[in-house]
Structure 1
Amino acid sequence: MTHKLRRVNDASPTQHQTVHPQYHGRRFAVYHRVAIHLSISRLTASPAVNRRQRGMTLVELIITIVIIGIAAAALFSAMASITARSVDPMLEAQSLHLAESLMEEMQSVPFNAIADIAPREPQYRDGSGIEALENYRVGAVVWDYSIGGQPGKRIDVDVTDPTGRTLRLTGYRADY
């Protein structure tokens, strides 16, 4: 942009002149000249403003889509692994409940009748099977054990969940 000294009276209709805030003398001023087309009613903007008004190029758009796609793929794979691992604690908790139930039943009977309780598949009180627990396997082993010279029993209850993992719960019962 050049500064030119011109007389104030010299303005032509096809030129737009803005006066620099500093006046040089009485009848001279510093002008910035910008061409105006008769069909356009605004001044041309700087290249930075024009660039912002144009939007994104095709290359920028493709790069943005690729970056968003990579981020989404990473997010989905993390969510899939978290979802898969969230089932494990539920299976473990269900196995523990089954083992505790059988252990409580075996320890509540008289001392000599402990070995007579046969482990069975999970069932309701009326004897019908629980469909949601049909893939769990329950087993128990009773060992003779001596506790401080007194006869006792060691009870091992094993529960295998649908994924094949086994949970063992061990309890002791004395003859009191």
Structure 2
Amino acid sequence: MPSPCPKASRSRARSTRSSSTPSVASPAATARRPRSPSGSAASPSKGSAKRGCSVSRERRRSAAGMSLIELVVAIVVVAICLTGAFALVDTTTRRSADPMLERQATSIAEAYLEEILQQSYVDPDDGEVCPAAEADRTLFDNVCDYSGLVEAGARSQQGEAVAGLESYRVEVAIDPKASLGDLSGESVVLRIDVTVTDPIGRPVRLSAYRTNA
């Protein structure tokens, strides 16, 4: 947008040229010419033109400065909003995955518990309850053989790792001195605790009892 300053200069130049050439103004032109309070015709002064140019430049600078400030503020606000949105999405994603992890851990614990309960109450070789455990899971033949079993990642009864379940930890504890109150009688009650820890560190524990009845 062109500056108003050159127009003021051209007006002064035309005024100067017209004043240098003598002419007789008609009464109508004299009547139309605006006059100052002192009675003389009004004409723009150099001081007022300079002030007009200065004000115009200051306004342009002020407008440019406000635009830059607004841009910075907008960037900061957008960054804050995005940070909050990402945090919300992350929290929602984790919460939606939590039930799935818990169900998977429960399924693993159930599978181990079912395998243990299918084993003999006593050692088939000597008839003892809770003899020394076998070193290899594939050789387990009674409930107490599973006592102290710890596996990083779910495994089948043959000791093979189950794909996709490597991040789960399985622990088995057998208590040969458990009691069911009057229901126990003279029988030795074995309490079986299977604890499965999911990938985010939450344990799921399932328990069962086994007697010789």
Output the TM-score relative to the length of structure 1.
Answer: 0.53
Q: Distance in 1 between matches of 2:93 and 2:78?
A: 22
Amino acid at match of 2:101: L
- Structure with greater helix percent: 2
Query: Which whole-Å deviations, capped at 9, do the CAs of 1:47-73 have from their partners, x for residues lacking one?
Result: xxxxxxxxxxx9xxx899999887766
Residue type of the alignment partner of 2:210: R
Partner of 1:101: 111
* Structure 1, unpaired ranges of 5+: 1-57
Instruction: Report matched runs for 1:54-73 at 5 Å.
Output: none
Matched, 1:87 2:87: no
2:143 aligned partner = 114
- 1:138 partnered with 2:167: no
Q: CA RMSD in A?
A: 3.1
2: CA distance, partners of 1:128 / 1:73: 44
Match of 2:200 among 163, 166, 174: 163
Q: Give the unaligned 5+ runs of structure 2.
A: 1-66, 123-141
Instruction: Please tell me whether the aligned partners of residues 109 and 206 of structure 2 are also in contact (alpha carbons under 8 angstroms).
Output: yes
Which of the pair is proportionally richer in strand? 1
The one-letter code sitting in structure 1 at the alignment partner of 2:146 is I
Rg larger in structure: 2
Give the TM-score normalised by structure 2.
0.45
